Amino acid sequence: MSMSLPAEGACTTGPVLHIYPETIEANARSICGQLTGIDIVGVTKATCANPFVARALVAGGAKALGDSRVDNLRRLRHEGLGVPLWLLRSPTPAQADEVVKVADVVLVAELETMRALDAAAEAAGGCAARRLGLVVMVDMGDLREGIMPTELDTFMHSARHLCHADVVGIGTNLTCYGAVVPTRNNLSELLSLTELAENILGRRLLVSGGNSSSLESAFAEGLPKGITGLRVGESILLGVSTITRQPLPGLAPNAFVLEAPVIECRIKPTVPLGRIAQNAFGTKPRFANRGHRLCAICALGRQDCLPEGLQPMQTGVQILGASSDHLIVDVGDAVPAPAIGRSLYFLPNYGCLLAAFTSPYVEKRIHSG
C-alpha cells in the first residue's frame, strides 16, 4: 500500500495507536463543507471521547459532539469545547440525575426514561445551566433503538406533558445493526412522521436523519429537504463509506495508524502439525498450505484489537491470524524483511479502532503539526 508510515523513533515495547488530529479535522471540514444546511454531530465514541479527536471534529465544523456513554460526555464537558453534547444511547432511568449534568440532548425511545429525565431536570432546578433536549428515536427498519412508527402518535401525546425537558427532534438510526441502507423512501417517511409530531407538539423539530451511512446518498443526490442533521463518526475518522467500506472522495483514510513491534521472525510451516481442535476462542481454525514461509509475530492480539480489521500498510505483508496477545503475519514477500524490535504498521477499520482505543495496553500517541 502506497502511504507514508510514522517516522521511526525509539523502538516501541508494545502496540501504539498513532493519532493525526489534523487529518480528522480535514475530513470533518470536507464533509461539513459538502452538506450545506446539515448540522453534523461529530461522534467520539469509537475514540473513547479522546479530547484531541473531539477538538479536531469541532475545528472541522461539527456543530455538536455525540457519545454513547455518560462517562465520555463527562470528559467532553470537562474539556469545555463550546458545543452541545449529545448522549447517543438512551440512559437507564437510574442515570437520569447524572445525564442532566453532562448532556444537552439525549436520544430516547421510552416514556419511563423521558419522565425520569424530566424529573431529574426539575430536581436540578435553577442549578441547571441549560434545558435538556430530547430526540425521540423512531425505528425505520434497522431494528436497533426506536419506537415503531405506529406508536409515534400516542408517544408524542404523552411527551406533551413533560415540564422540565423538551422534545426537540425526531431521529433514526440505520445500518448499524440490521444493515438497512438509508434511502429517499425511508428518510421521507421519517420526515412525514416528524410532521405528525410537530402538529402534536405545536412547534418545529430538528430531524436527525441517521449516521455516516447517510453520506453516500447525501453526496450523490442530496438528502430529502427537511433533514436537518446527521450523526457522523466513522466516515470522518476513517474516510470510508459505512455501506461499502470503500474510500469516500476527498477524505483521507490514515487518521489512525496502529503500530505493532516484531518480537519473533523465522521460517515456519503454514499449517499446524498434529491434531487440530479448538483454539483459545472456541473455534476450529482452517489453514491454507503455503509451504514454509518467513513469519513474524507482533506484540498485538485480540485483547488489543480485532485482527480481521487490520490492513497492512507495507507491501508483502499478510495477516495469518492472532491469539489474545500475538499477531501472526506472513512477511515472506516483505521488502525489506522486518527485524526484531522494529515495527509493522496497519490501518484499522472501525471495530479495530474501537478496540484499540478501549484497550489500556495500546499506547495512544498524538501527532500534531
Just list the catalytic residues. 45
Q: How many CB atoms lie within 10 A of CB 152?
A: 20
Q: How many CB atoms lie within 10 A of CB 150?
A: 8
Closest CA to 39 of 65, 8, 3: 65
Rounded Cα distance, 130 and 349, in Å? 37
DSSP structural state of residue 197: H
Rounded Cα distance, 290 and 273, in Å? 14
127 vs 74, 75, 117, 269, 302, CA distance in Å?
17, 20, 15, 67, 45
Q: Give the dihedral sign, CA 221/222/227/230.
A: positive
**Is residue 64 within a helix (H) or strand (E), and if so which, with residue range?**
strand 64-67
3-state secondary structure of 114: helix
What's the farthest any 2 CA atoms get from each other in the chain?
73
Cell of 165: 425537558
Strand partners, 85: 65
CB of 7 closer than 8 Å to CB of 292: no
